[in-house]
């Protein structure tokens, strides 16, 4: 299975420019023969302008239509990063996933909102895990800051995920954390990780790039730098079962002893 991570420099608060760029990058992923393409966090607005509530996608309508058209055009599954998504009076940081036929198969509202950046003031937190199937494979997604919460990511593995997608708007100043945490989540959960970060200066934020495609042993199959890139790698999904047979951490877990973590 071929996966592409679309590391984009986003236009701050300029939704049409970002939709246009996403379209070009999806075309590049399709040309590379990708089965699944993943976009970065808040790719419709960047992270995030003062008028984000006004320019957010209402009920994700424009985003879902855009992703559906692209998926059908290229015959490619798309993990739609995340977008600023307004539902009623509330604003969410939402991922939409569409299959090759353009059908919506997954939706996720970011659960852990980045309080140091006041994301929790602007957005409403989600409360549900996102586990879905593409091409018959169980997968999951989280968003950016969620990556720091190993308990949350572990639930996706326990739900059967073999691939985790991590769209993000992670700053360059903490790029070392980003790279370390992506590899750690892959190793401890024994699954593939496809992370997709923005890059470059977008408003006040310098996004860090360094998107990664990682196997269950923690080996980095492809990694970006600080510039735009379409990263592509083949995921041999039989490796997940092989790794879990060799070191069966799921059988050796002692969850009754972990209750104190709450």
- φ/ψ of residue 86, rounded to 5: -95, 120
Catalytic residue among 64, 110, 162, 196: 110
Q: Could you confirm whether 110 is annotated as catalytic?
A: yes
DSSP structure class, residue 171: B
| C-alpha to C-alpha distance for 11 and 19, rounded to whole angstroms | 10
Say what angle helices 175-189 and 150-158 make with each other, to 10 degrees: 30
Sequence-separated (6 or more) residues with CB below 8 Å from residue 211: 5, 7, 40, 195, 196, 197, 223, 224, 229, 231
Beta strand residue intervals within the chain, DSSP E: 2-7, 36-38, 57-58, 77-79, 83-87, 90-98, 104-109, 131-134, 137-141, 163-168, 192-197, 199-202, 205-208, 212-214, 220-223, 229-234
Max Cα separation, the chain?
51
Q: Could you confirm whether 41 is annotated as catalytic?
A: yes
Element (H, E) at 68: helix 61-74
Catalytic residue among 144, 162, 196, 199: 144
Catalytic residues: 41, 110, 144
């Amino acid at each position: 299975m071929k996966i592409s991570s679309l590391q984009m420099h986003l236009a701050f608060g300029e939704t049409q420019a970002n939709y246009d760029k996403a379209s070009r990058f999806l075309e590049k992923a399709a040309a590379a023969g990708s089965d699944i393409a993943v976009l970065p966090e808040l790719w419709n607005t960047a992270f995030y302008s003062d008028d984000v509530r006004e320019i957010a996608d209402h009920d994700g309508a424009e985003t879902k239509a855009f992703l559906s058209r692209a998926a059908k055009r290229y015959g490619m599954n798309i993990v739609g990063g995340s977008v600023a998504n307004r539902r009623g009076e509330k604003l969410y940081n939402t991922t939409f996933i569409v299959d090759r036929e353009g059908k919506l198969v997954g939706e996720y509202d970011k659960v852990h909102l980045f309080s140091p950046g006041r994301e929790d003031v602007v957005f409403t937190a989600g409360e549900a895990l996102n586990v879905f199937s593409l091409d018959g494979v169980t997968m999951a997604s989280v968003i950016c800051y969620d990556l720091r919460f190993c308990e949350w990511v572990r639930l996706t593995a326990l739900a059967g995920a073999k691939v985790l997608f991590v769209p993000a708007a992670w700053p360059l100043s903490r790029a070392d954390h980003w790279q370390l945490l992506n590899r750690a989540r892959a190793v401890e959960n024994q699954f593939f990780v496809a992370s997709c970060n923005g890059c470059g200066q977008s408003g006040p934020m310098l996004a860090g790039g360094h998107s990664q495609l990682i196997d269950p042993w923690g080996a980095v199959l492809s990694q970006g730098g600080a510039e735009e890139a379409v990263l592509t790698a083949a995921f041999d999904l039989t490796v997940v079962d092989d790794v879990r047979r060799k070191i069966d951490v799921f059988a050796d877990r002692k969850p009754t002893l972990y209750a104190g973590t709450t």
